[in-house]
Structure 1
Amino acid sequence: MAIQVEVVQTGVSTAEGRARQHTVIIDRPLDKGGQDAGMMGGEQLLVALGGCFISNLLAAIRAREAGIENVRVELSGTLESAPSRFRAIEAVVRADTADQALLEKLVDMADKACICANTLRPAVALSFRVA
């Protein structure tokens, strides 16, 4: 199985990412020479990681009919230079639940099932935690 996307230039500093019928705009902030029409690629990498992870987490919650709601993931990437890259990424999971231990177990399961996390982990100090 393969996952395919396309990224096409749409302006001087902008591009459009396409997957199936979905699109996202990629651009740089004004202070970096862009038009600020969309997120930078690094920001989208964090969003992709968070999206992949939360998709697995929500599936695990649904499968167990766990009483966990209002799930949100805050991701923070620590930058390194020469070459520019993420050195570390921390994901903090928050949710409404009476069973914190179950949430922690499901977060661990979702982390292990996440394609993005499994791909990034060898190159980046990656952590998921429940707050």
Structure 2
Amino acid sequence: MGELKVDYTGGIGFKASAREHSITIDLPKDKGGDDAGMTPPEAFMASLGSCIGVYVARYCNTAKLDPKGMQITLNWHLSDDKTRISTIDVTLKLPNAEPGKRERAILDAAHRCLLHNTILVQPQISVKLI
């Protein structure tokens, strides 16, 4: 079981903390924030992209492919009613690896990412006020 705490820092800002690490979440100035950190959707995409990266890097290391210089770019679009993200496109660059016949295995590793699977099989989310 994992735990992460999100603390209000003022304005529209928050600090998310897990273990000994934290990130700042905020909105751009034109949305009422101070632009002190990523927006919640950006942090969500950062989590998804880095999760994919971890799984691909592990595979590359096992398969003796060089993951150095790996870059994962995520582009997303909102639904028409702007209440959710409707599409996510992920582009994976491995400039120092020559995947050849391992391309399918690399993509399979990306699809095994914990967060990717969580999105595909929607978790139950409960919110309670205490």
Common fold, TM-score beyond 0.5? yes
User: What residue is the counterpart of 2:91 in the other structure?
Assistant: 92
Structural mapping, 1:2-81, within 5 Å: 2-81=1-80
CA gap of 1:41–1:23, structure 2 versus 1, over 3 A, is same
The two structures, once aligned, show a CA RMSD in angstroms of: 1.8
Per mean C-alpha deviation after superposition, the further-off stretch among 74-83 and 94-103 is 94-103
CA gap of 1:105–1:69, structure 2 versus 1, over 3 A, is farther
CA gap of 1:116–1:98, structure 2 versus 1, over 3 A, is closer
Structure 1: distance between partners of 2:101 and 2:44: 28
User: What residue is the counterpart of 1:105 in the other structure?
Assistant: 104
Residue 10 of structure 2: SS of its match in structure 1?
coil
CA gap of 1:38–1:14, structure 2 versus 1, over 3 A, is same
- Superposition deviation, residue 107 in structure 1: 2.9
Deviation string 1:55-74 (CA, Å, 9 cap, x unpaired) is 01101111121244311100
| Structure 1 residue runs without a partner (length 5+) | 124-131
| Structure 2 residue runs without a partner (length 5+) | 123-130
- Superposition deviation, residue 17 in structure 1: 0.4
Q: Normalized against structure 1, the TM-score is what?
A: 0.83
> Counterpart amino acid of 1:19?
A
Q: Normalized against structure 2, the TM-score is what?
A: 0.84
Deviation string 1:78-114 (CA, Å, 9 cap, x unpaired) is 1114361110001001112452434522432222320
Structure 2: distance between partners of 1:11 and 1:46: 24
Q: Does the aligned pair in 1 maintain the 2:70–2:94 contact within 8 Å?
A: yes
Percentage of identical aligned residues: 25
Aligned positions, number? 122
Residue 65 of structure 2: SS of its match in structure 1?
coil
